[in-house]
Structure 1
Amino acid sequence: MNHSQTKNLVGTALCIALGLILPQVFHLIGAGPVFLPMHIPVLLCGLCFGWPFGLICGAVTPLLSSVMTGMPPLFPTGTAMVFELAAYGALSGLLYRKFRQNIYLSLIAAMLGGRVVSGLASAIFYGVAGKAYGLQIFLTGAFVTGLPGIILQILIVPVLVIVLEKSRVISSPGLMKV
């Protein structure tokens, strides 16, 4: 395993750990569903380490959180979140690292794509669970309740990635070997 691969694995593990810790902190003040703290490390992982690592981080984090803390409940919420967060991590990494799109475009497109995946997964899993789920519930959960979290992600995530690139903790997509 080369140095870059090791760095990516360690960074992904750190993002998973943050994805377990941040929600606990936000839930202490009752702000978990509003600020979407598990999304931040997953988006960071994809942007910093690429789509495969972002996908793994996004799929593993809600499962581990559900098993370790009971939040989110494993089914249907946690299961739907596995698909949603995996999409965030994969899309952010694909757009920014592989296709070298602007960081803001990559982030916002990943956030929108992940929400579409969330809506589809939730419709399936909530339906299987016999729970109500429809367009109004989707729009409220994906865009209204989480609006402060969406704003926080747009303000903080790109800045963190740019700082990490400028300090050479991670490589910039323009400097990556092809």
Structure 2
Amino acid sequence: MKNLNTKNLVTAAVCLALCMVLPFLTGQIPQIGSALSPMHIPVLLAGFLCGPWWAMAVGAVAPLLRFALFQKPPIFPTGLAMCFELAAYGLVAGLLYRHLPKRPANIYAALIGAMLAGRVVWGIVRTVLSGVSGEPFTWTMFMAEAFFNAVPGIIVHIVLIPLLVMALKRAGFFGRTAPLPA
């Protein structure tokens, strides 16, 4: 059990470090760099790799730490809403992956479920924050920011994350378990 906790701690730390670094890489791509949602990738991976609670912690801390280190994303309302969104991503991805049968299709089910839950949580938090700040946040703004403007990131996540999870499973990262069926 101690080795598993250490492995989860180290994996979560690596995912948190990736949350700090990946936005620098995608920020070099004009006009779609931020739409690729680079901080979401390591948080979602953490859900699959180290479970719901570690991933939730990574998601909650990542925007705050990145703001403290680099002043990005702006802490209010973007960073604060991202804390809740990313925490929901990690929690839901980890819970769904843990409880669904270990088949490749369920990697996609856990991923898509987490992405939807995170966006709903983000919308709720943005609505609350708009009430506090007096800035408008409409249904149209929610749909545009959570879905339409996020299409590049959604595509990257749906393609990249299952491939990484399956590759890590085949490489034995998840321990001694049966390989995924083809």
TM-score (norm 1): 0.92
Residues 103 and 158 of structure 1 are in contact (CA less than 8 Å); yes or no, is this contact kept in structure 2? yes
Residues 164 and 170 of structure 1 are in contact (CA less than 8 Å); yes or no, is this contact kept in structure 2? yes
- Could you say which residue in structure 2 is the equivalent of 1:154? 158
- Could you say which residue in structure 2 is the equivalent of 1:84? 85
Once residues 72 and 177 of structure 2 are traced to their aligned partners in structure 1, the CA distance between those partners, rounded to angstroms, is: 34
Once residues 97 and 38 of structure 1 are traced to their aligned partners in structure 2, the CA distance between those partners, rounded to angstroms, is: 22
- Could you say which residue in structure 2 is the equivalent of 1:29? 29
Residues 23 and 34 of structure 2 are in contact (CA less than 8 Å); yes or no, is this contact kept in structure 1? no
Once residues 152 and 77 of structure 1 are traced to their aligned partners in structure 2, the CA distance between those partners, rounded to angstroms, is: 21
Q: Deviations over 1:20-68 (max 9, x none)?
A: 1001211132333310101000000011111001100100101101111
Identify the range of structure 1 (84-93 vs 161-170) with the bigger mean alpha-carbon deviation: 161-170
Pairing 1:15–2:19 present: no
- How far residue 174 of structure 1 moved from its aligned partner, in angstroms, is 7.3
Identity among equivalent positions (%) equals: 45
TM-score (norm 2): 0.90
Structure 2: segments with no counterpart, 5+ residues: none
Structure 1: segments with no counterpart, 5+ residues: none
Structure 2 counterpart of 1:153, which letter? Answer: H
Once residues 116 and 170 of structure 2 are traced to their aligned partners in structure 1, the CA distance between those partners, rounded to angstroms, is: 27
SS at match of 1:77: helix
SS at match of 2:87: helix
- How far residue 173 of structure 1 moved from its aligned partner, in angstroms, is 7.9
Residues 96 and 173 of structure 1 are in contact (CA less than 8 Å); yes or no, is this contact kept in structure 2? no
- Could you say which residue in structure 1 is the equivalent of 2:109? 105
Once residues 53 and 178 of structure 2 are traced to their aligned partners in structure 1, the CA distance between those partners, rounded to angstroms, is: 19
Root-mean-square deviation (CA, aligned residues, Å) is 1.7
- How far residue 161 of structure 1 moved from its aligned partner, in angstroms, is 0.7
- How far residue 99 of structure 1 moved from its aligned partner, in angstroms, is 4.2
- Could you say which residue in structure 2 is the equivalent of 1:145? 149
Q: Deviations over 1:1-25 (max 9, x none)?
A: 7111101100000000001100121
CA separation of 1:172 and 1:135: change in aligned 2, threshold 3 A:
farther
Structure 2 counterpart of 1:103, which letter? Answer: I
CA separation of 1:172 and 1:148: change in aligned 2, threshold 3 A:
farther
Once residues 87 and 114 of structure 1 are traced to their aligned partners in structure 2, the CA distance between those partners, rounded to angstroms, is: 5
Pairing 1:75–2:76 present: yes
Aligned length: 175
The runs of at least 4 consecutive aligned structure 1 residues that moved more than 2 Å come to: 28-33, 98-101, 170-175
Once residues 143 and 152 of structure 2 are traced to their aligned partners in structure 1, the CA distance between those partners, rounded to angstroms, is: 15
